[in-house]
Amino acid sequence: MLSEFKAFILRGNVIDLAVGVIIGAAFGAIVKSLTDEIIMPVVGAIFGNIDFSARYIVLSGEVAPGTPLAAAREAGANVIGLGAFASVVINFVILAFIIFLMVRYVNKVTAQFAKPEEPAAPAGPTEIELLAEIRDALKK
């Protein structure tokens, strides 16, 4: 059983998958930071200095206006975190677009290397050589 596990782990696909997951997690953190620290503040500034991370809708419970989202949840209020959801949607769109670009590039490179080779010419005489032979035979 241990030797089967070792063979499974040392397969190229498992190692590639592990590397992909680790890089994906790191890249996800970069995109989250980009969204939270750069994109959302710019969007908030465009809409009148609104902090989207603190935007929420109270469904039930008493919450004073201007209460931060975390405090509203601690008070037991049932809230919908619109700003957090908007950040997650933007993260998803950015990641999906980058993955699309990467897959598109890989497919393009793979297609270049996978071009079918042209079939080799037949070993017999070419069409011009055959026509020349027919012409010579007719002259005789």
Domain assignment present for 57 = yes
Residue 12 in this model has a pLDDT that exceeds 70: no
- Identify the pLDDT of residue 92: 86
Flag the least confident range among 34-38, 108-112, 118-122, 134-138.
118-122
CA–CA distance, 20 with 113 (Å, rounded to integer):
23
The answer as to whether 135 is a domain residue is no
Quickly state the pLDDT bin for 60 (edges 50, 70, 90).
confident
pLDDT digits (tens, 9 = 90+) for 70-126: 888 888 888 888 888 888 888 888 888 888 888 898 888 888 887 766 666 567 778
pLDDT value, residue 78: 86
On whether residue 136 sits in a domain, the answer given is no
Mean pLDDT over residues 46-56, rounded? Answer: 76
On whether residue 16 sits in a domain, the answer given is: yes
- Determine the straight-line distance between the first and last CA of the chain, rounded to whole angstroms: 81
DSSP 105-135: HHHHHHHHHTPPPPPPPPSS--HHHHHHHHH
What pLDDT does residue 117 have?
67
- In a 10 Å sphere around its CB, with 0-12 CB exposed, 13-18 middle and 19+ buried, how is residue 111 labelled? exposed
CATH number for the domain spanning 6: value is: 1.10.1200.120
- pLDDT over threshold 70, residue 49: yes
> Helix count (H) and strand count (E) of the chain?
6, 2
The CA-CA-CA angle for residues 73, 79, 84, to 5°, reads 90
Would residue 134 count as lying in a domain? Answer: no
- For CA atoms 72, 44, 49, 29, give the dihedral sign: positive
Q: Kind and range of the H or E element at 102?
A: helix 82-113
Establish if 113 belongs to a structural domain. yes
Name the residue range of residue 52's domain.
2-118
Residue 130 lies in a domain: no
On the question of pLDDT at 15 being above 80, the answer is no
Q: What is the mean pLDDT of residues 19-39?
A: 85
Distant-in-sequence, close-in-space partners of 28: CB < 8 Å, separation ≥ 6: 91, 95
Q: What percent of the chain has pLDDT over 90?
A: 3
Please give the Cα distance from 41 to 51 (Å, whole number). Answer: 7
- Is the pLDDT assigned to residue 67 strictly greater than 70? yes
Number of domains into which the chain is organized: 1
126 inside domain: no
